[in-house]
Amino acid sequence: MSQPPFRVGLGYDIHPLVAGRPCILGGVKIPSDVGPDGHSDADVLLHAVADAILGAAGLRDIGHYFPNNDATLAGMDSAIIARRAVAEATALGWKVGNVDLVLIGERPKIMAYVPEIRASVAGILGIEASQVGIKATTNEGMDALGQGKGLAVQAICLIYRG
């Protein structure tokens, strides 16, 4: 059975927000009094992107490649995670066609930083900024995200045979 010339993957990540942590989204440091907490730099956006790419390629999730109980990975730059996802997909003959991302949270407000985040994500993935979509929404005050206690990202990625 032949495989289609393209595939789609879905990624999701969520991190709590805590005081005193830098807020890094898509490789860009966003001014904020809170930042995502996690084992690496907790870039929730790049984590979701990496999982979308890995999923599209039929591979395991980022926890397989970068376990959160590995002390040597503490504080790691999440760009390394995203680049590894691209490398794993590339090794199987896939190229990233585009990614589309939705950041869900009450804070920080990112709209002024979207062009910089798009350019950063594109550079990390080796694609053009026009191939990166970024949107932000709130949870309208509902649940922990709506109360400003965390950030979540949904990501979708199209890959194609290169």
- pTM of the full predicted structure? 0.95
CA 45 to chain centre: 3
Buried b / exposed e over 20-37, threshold 16 CB at 10 Å, is ebebbbbbbebebebbbe
In a domain, residue 1? The reply is no
Question: Measuring CA to CA, which residue among 3, 8, 5 is closest to residue 158?
Answer: 8
- Whether 29 shows a pLDDT value over 90: the answer reads yes
* Domain containing residue 89: 6-161
Element (H, E) at 9: strand 6-19
pLDDT at 155: 98
Res 162: pLDDT: 75
Residue of 91, 16, 15, 17 lying closest to 53 (CA atoms): 91
Q: Identify the pLDDT of residue 52.
A: 98
Domain count, the chain: 1
Q: Quick check: 88 and 59 in contact, CB under 8 A? A: yes
pLDDT tens digit sequence for 8-25: 999 999 999 999 999 999
Residue 5 binned pLDDT confidence (cut-offs 50, 70, 90): very high
**Residue 76 domain-assigned (yes or no):** yes
Confidence of residue 3 (pLDDT cuts 50, 70, 90): confident
Q: What CATH number does the domain containing 19 carry?
A: 3.30.1330.50
Query: Looking at residue 157, what DSSP letter applies?
Result: E
Q: Which DSSP string do the residues of 57-88 spell out, in sequence order?
A: TT---HHHHS-TT-GGGTT--HHHHHHHHHHH
| pLDDT per residue as tens digits for the range 44-100 | 999 999 999 999 999 999 999 999 899 998 899 999 999 999 999 999 999 999 999
Q: Would residue 60 count as lying in a domain?
A: yes
Torsion of CA 30, 36, 37, 42, to 10 degrees: -80
